[in-house]
Amino acid sequence: MKILVINGPNLNLLGQREPGVYGADSLDAILARLTALAIDLGVQLDTFQSNHEGALIDRLHAAMGEVDGVLINPGAYTHTSIALRDAFLATRLPFVEVHLSNVYAREAFRHKSLLADIARGQVMGFGPDSYMLGLRGLVDGLRRAR
């Protein structure tokens, strides 16, 4: 089984950006932990990060027929990107949305996800463990569906 992990805008600055909100771990450190978990689960990971909406969409299109599912932290595009939503609908790739912080404990404009109703699930508020929990949920769900 192969899972694509997508990280959206500003996540390349984890560890430096607002550590009180997002924690002290870098994206590389989170992905290293996630890769170790993937090995334990017997799945392969492909990772991608971009600050550009079109690049995220292009990567999703390229993933069709290549991956079994997607774990995504869309960053701010969670709340703004109809195009990213449409890409998930077009590709029909099953996905789980993750966030380091609890978006519902933050500003009101962060309370709406344009992806939530088409995602297999959401995990948020557990810092880097949101990624681990999201990967476990996605992999377990895909295995059950087989």
**42 near 110, Cβ under 8 Å?**
no
Specify whether 131 is catalytic. no
Specify whether 99 is catalytic. yes
The DSSP code for 100 is S
For all residues of the chain together, what is the average pLDDT? 94
> Of the candidates 60, 54, 144, 58, which has an alpha carbon nearest to the alpha carbon of residue 95?
60
The pLDDT tens digits for 60-75 are 999 999 999 999 999 9
The pLDDT tens digits for 19-74 are 776 777 999 999 999 999 999 999 999 999 999 999 999 999 999 999 999 999 99
Which is the catalytic residue, given 22, 52, 79, 131? Answer: 22
Has residue 110 got a pLDDT over 80? Answer: no
CA distance 70 to 74: 11
Q: Does the model's pTM come out above 0.85?
A: yes
Has residue 10 got a pLDDT over 80? Answer: yes
Which is the catalytic residue, given 52, 77, 79, 99? Answer: 99
> Of the candidates 103, 89, 11, which has an alpha carbon nearest to the alpha carbon of residue 57?
89
Query: How much is the pLDDT for 20?
Result: 74
Query: How much is the pLDDT for 45?
Result: 98
Query: How much is the pLDDT for 106?
Result: 77
Query: How much is the pLDDT for 104?
Result: 80
Q: Name the amino acid, one letter, at 97.
A: E
> Of the candidates 103, 139, 138, 104, which has an alpha carbon nearest to the alpha carbon of residue 121?
138
- Mean pLDDT (whole number) for 115-137: 97
The pLDDT tens digits for 96-107 are 999 998 888 777
Query: How much is the pLDDT for 134?
Result: 98
